[in-house]
Structure 1
Amino acid sequence: MTTDGALARLIRSAADRPAAAEAEVCDLCAAPVAGEHAHLYDTGRQELCCVCGPCSVLFAGSGAGDGHYRLVPRRRVRLPHLDTAVLGVPVGLVFFVPRADGTVTAEGPSPAGAMRWEVDADPWKQLAETCPQLAGVEPEVEALLVNTVHGLDHHWIVPVDDCYRMVAVVRREWRGLSGGGRIWPAVERFFEDLTERP
């Protein structure tokens, strides 16, 4: 499934969880998957895949799948305040994904999906010096998720599928040209529902 396909499934799931859960299958073996299920990141296609429990176990090791597939971890860590303005991204709701080649991309939600920017490596390294946990973010499959809109101060290390769930919330709630009044309460609920996980 492409990242856009993953996003479409997440939007459906958010709108109608029971129906979406019945329809979803593992992208590797076609077995049914639960509403809460694991994802793999396909490094060749640069896309997310839904996987069932048994298939996810096959890719749990760092060398599994010859590096082609990477299991998206479940870890969530809430971070203290970070000065993410140094990264040069002009939006307050954004996630930063370090890549295997050392680059960093920033993505922010829009009614059409995720917008993407390239981030200079040096500011990212400087930010990581102020917050050592950032140095441990797994490339491609974990992200720094930020929400500083309306004076909020949320900074999390999360699995990338959490980021696409957040993008799905924005797309689902967007109304008209400006987005309407439903988006920000829904985004705030999304962040309130995040819980730390080892």
Structure 2
Amino acid sequence: MTTDGALARLIRSSADRTATAEAEACDLCAAPVAGDHAHLYDTAKDEVHCACGPCSVLFDRGGAGDGHYRLVPRRRIRLPRVDTAVLGVPVGLVFFVPRADGTVTAQGPSPAGAMRWEVDASAWQRLTETCPQLAGVEPEVEALLVNTVHGLDHHWIVPIDDCYRMVAVVRREWRGLSGGGRIWPAVEQFFGELAERS
């Protein structure tokens, strides 16, 4: 075999390994997953994990895995304006996650990740009375995602993985102390894509 042939084979092999390493895989069985794959929420670690089709089927019922992993729903519902001021959160880009224990957390993106604080549970209950669709938000795996920055009026019930994607967009695009000029167009694009996926 020629040296050129061995080198070409080595380069191809290295490229194949790099492509395989960059491809997403199921966090349970390591099988490759498609671009639009399911996610599981790890209740113990408060993390989202990729799941292939067969593994996600294992968790499509609430009691599977003793509740350690929960299948993240895929529904996205645009709501009419929701008066989130009653929740006492002073930021315009935020998501609210009801928890299984009855508490509700608010999380806002920042250059360091998601800032988190607890919301008054009775205020959340009052909000669900004015917007009954919020009563159906699945604890821990769905959220109310709000964007009222720059006069926008986005209120969505979304899967929790969409919220984490939004946090990643903010972290990726943030520049300087105030975020810079790239962050808000990127956030608006995120919400435009959310509308396309709903």
TM-score normalised by the chain length of structure 2: 0.86
Equivalent-residue separation in structure 2 for 1:93 and 1:154 (angstroms) = 9
Match of 2:144 in 1: 144
Question: Using the alignment, how far apart are the partners of 1:45 and 1:184 within structure 2?
Answer: 30
| CA–CA distance in structure 2, aligned partners of residues 63 and 196 of structure 1 | 32
Identify which of structures 1 and 2 has the higher relative contact order when contacts are C-alpha pairs closer than 8 Å and 6+ apart.
1
**Structure 1 residues 138 and 20: CA distance shift in structure 2, 3 A:** farther
Task: Write out per-residue CA displacement over residues 34-69 of structure 1, whole angstroms, 9 at most, x where no aligned residue.
Answer: 222111111122221111111001111122222221
Matches within 5 A, 1:171-182: 171-182=171-182
Is the 1:43–1:69 Cα contact (8 Å) retained in structure 2?
A: yes
Identity across the alignment (%):
85
Q: 1:192 to 1:123 in 2, by over 3 A?
A: same
Match of 2:95 in 1: 95
Code of the residue aligned with 1:162 in structure 2: it is D
SS at match of 1:187: helix
Per the alignment, residue 69 of structure 2 pairs with 69
CA contact (8 A) 1:77 1:196 kept: no
Q: CA deviation at 1:137?
A: 0.2
Instruction: State the SS of the aligned residue for 1:105.
Output: strand
Match for residue 116 of structure 1? 116
Aligned-residue CA RMSD (Å): 1.7
Larger radius of gyration: 2
**Which residue does the alignment assign to 2:185?**
185
Counterpart residue number, 1:107: 107
The CA distance in 2 between the partners of 1:119 and 1:136, in whole Å, is 18
Cα distance in 2 for residues equivalent to 1:135 and 1:20: 42
TM-score by length of 1: 0.86
Question: What CA distance in whole angstroms lies between the structure 2 residues aligned with 1:20 and 1:147?
Answer: 36
The alignment partner of 1:106 has SS state of strand
Give the Cα–Cα distance (whole angstroms) in 1 for the partners of residues 95 and 20 of structure 2. 26
The residue matched to 2:133 in structure 1 has which SS?
A: helix
Q: What letter is aligned with 1:52?
A: C
**Does the CA contact (< 8 Å) of 1:106 and 1:117 recur in 2?**
yes
